[in-house]
């Protein structure tokens, strides 16, 4: 395949898909918990309801990703899933504030939102593998994550202001922006025609649809265990960092003596640097390779968590969080493209699902394990806990054999 100039314009257009997805979750995570708390639910029940999306993502997203590989319509393979999931997600999301005084109805609205979002996230992200050559995917994922970061920032800053105008307003606003963003993708993104070879690898419609377990078994039983080690690495680093995210504000309050709001603001330094380094991290990986870039990011994150354990200065910890955000970009931006490097032709959707299976399982496991250790010790344990899983991720990543140059 001949080299081509990197398609920056079309990549930013595709980024609207992740922009739209990223609009919903910050509003969901910041505005729904108070509604559930106002119903008299315990923190444990509220936390359980907020994990529904991760539980659903573990099983539905891999199935949808794999199924979208075999979806053949005049609109393409991925677009029908966007056309189905996005309107349903918008509808259920808008319903949430209007039924917030009834537990059964708000629970159904939340569940509907989670299910509908899972219908189109994997197919949307699978475009990264469909539209870009292997050497372009890190740069493309940098752009896509930059757009997602902007979407999250718009939701957080705009949602708070709109909430003051009325509880339903940010939900209507968020759903509307998401639909516009997905409509841009549907309108502007042109899906590639699947080659006969890829179609053969993906199998025919008459053959049984591979299940999640079948896809996992395929990776686990492959003579080259690189895919299995990569998924284990992804699971490990997300376990570590999800635990830190879950308990950082409580750490800031109980250990550093800061207000919860101040702890939340400190985490924005991490998020901001993740956005700033989204595109540069893709460029670095394009030059030196994805595996070395990810290992560099993991090492930087691990050093940062070890140093954070000993820090008591708010300013120094803020600087550390910002630095870790930059290192995290090196990991986060390049992991999905590396999964695609190990995937078979025609199986991009299935491997997208496996990526989200690993990350969703970690999103459930990290806070539970971390919380159990906190109960036995103190909130300071989040730093060595995270460092341990980052080290485990480095060990797993070191076992991955690179097949394609980045």
Question: What would the mean pLDDT of 364-383 be, rounded to a whole number?
Answer: 87
pLDDT at 406 over 50: no
Is the pLDDT higher at 89 or at 165? 89
- CATH class assigned to 214-398: mainly alpha
DSSP 148-171: HHHHHHHHHHHHHHHHTT-THHHH
Length of the chain: 406
Is the pLDDT higher at 353 or at 203? 353
Would the CA dihedral through 384, 377, 240, 301 be positive or negative? negative
DSSP 70: T
**What integer pLDDT is reported at residue 176 of this predicted model?**
96
Domain 8-193, classified CATH 3.30.479.20, yes or no:
no
Question: What confidence category does residue 202 fall into, taking pLDDT thresholds of 50, 70 and 90?
Answer: very low
With beta carbons less than 8 A apart as the criterion, state whether 133 and 286 touch: no
CA distance linking residue 284 with residue 337, whole number of Å: 14
**What integer pLDDT is reported at residue 197 of this predicted model?**
46
pLDDT at 25 over 90: no
Per-residue burial over 124-141, b if 16 or more Cβ lie within 10 Å, else e, is bbbbbbbbbebbbbbbbb
How many other β-carbons are positioned within 10 Å of the β-carbon of residue 17? 30
In this structure, of 33-37, 171-175, 363-367, the range with the lowest mean pLDDT score is 33-37
How confident is the model over 166-177, as pLDDT tens digits?
A: 889 999 999 999
How confident is the model over 53-72, as pLDDT tens digits?
A: 778 877 787 788 878 888 88
pLDDT at 206 over 70: no
Is the pLDDT higher at 151 or at 238? 238
Question: What would the mean pLDDT of 13-19 be, rounded to a whole number?
Answer: 92
**What integer pLDDT is reported at residue 194 of this predicted model?**
62
Distance between the two ends of the chain, CA-based, in angstroms? 14
Residues 6+ apart with CB under 8 A from 212: 59, 62, 63, 66, 353, 357
In the chain, CATH 1.20.1250.20 covers 8-193, 214-398
């Amino acid at each position: 395949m001949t080299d081509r100039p990197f398609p920056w314009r079309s990549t930013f257009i595709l980024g609207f898909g992740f922009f739209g997805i990223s609009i919903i979750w910050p509003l969901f995570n910041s505005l729904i918990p108070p509604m559930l708390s106002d119903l008299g639910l315990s923190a444990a029940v509220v936390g359980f309801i907020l994990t529904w999306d991760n539980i659903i993502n573990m099983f539905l997203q891999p199935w949808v990703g794999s199924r979208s590989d075999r979806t053949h319509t005049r609109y393409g393979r991925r677009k029908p899933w966007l056309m189905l999931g996005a309107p349903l997600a918008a509808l259920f999301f808008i319903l949430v504030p209007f039924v917030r005084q009834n537990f059964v109805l708000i629970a159904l609205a939340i569940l509907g939102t989670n299910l509908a979002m899972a219908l189109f996230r994997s197919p949307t992200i699978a475009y990264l593998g469909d539209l870009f050559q292997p050497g372009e995917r890190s740069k493309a994922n940098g752009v896509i994550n930059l757009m997602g970061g902007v979407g999250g920032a718009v939701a957080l800053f705009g949602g708070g202001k709109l909430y003051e105008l009325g509880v339903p307003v940010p939900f209507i606003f968020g759903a509307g922006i998401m639909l516009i963003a997905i409509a841009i993708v549907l309108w502007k993104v042109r899906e590639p025609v699947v080659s006969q070879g890829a179609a053969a690898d993906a199998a025919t419609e008459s053959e049984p649809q591979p299940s999640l377990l079948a896809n996992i078994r395929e990776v686990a039983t492959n003579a080259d265990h690189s895919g299995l080690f990569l998924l284990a690495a992804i699971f490990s680093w997300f376990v570590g960092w999800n635990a830190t995210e879950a308990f950082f504000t409580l750490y800031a309050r109980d250990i550093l003596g800061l207000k919860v709001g101040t702890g939340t603001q400190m985490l924005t330094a991490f998020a901001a640097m993740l956005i700033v380094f989204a595109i540069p991290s893709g460029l670095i990986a394009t030059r030196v390779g994805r595996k070395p870039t990810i290992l560099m990011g993991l090492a930087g994150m691990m050093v940062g968590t070890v140093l954070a354990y000993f820090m008591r200065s708010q300013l120094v910890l803020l600087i550390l969080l910002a630095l870790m955000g930059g290192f995290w970009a090196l990991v986060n931006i390049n992991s999905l493209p590396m999964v695609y490097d190990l995937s078979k032709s025609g199986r991009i959707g299935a491997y997208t699902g496996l990526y989200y299976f690993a990350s969703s399982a970690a999103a459930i496991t990290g806070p539970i394990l971390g919380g159990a250790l906190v109960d036995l010790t103190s909130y300071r344990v989040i730093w060595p806990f995270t460092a341990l899983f980052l080290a485990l991720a480095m060990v797993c990543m070191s076992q991955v054999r690179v097949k394609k140059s980045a």
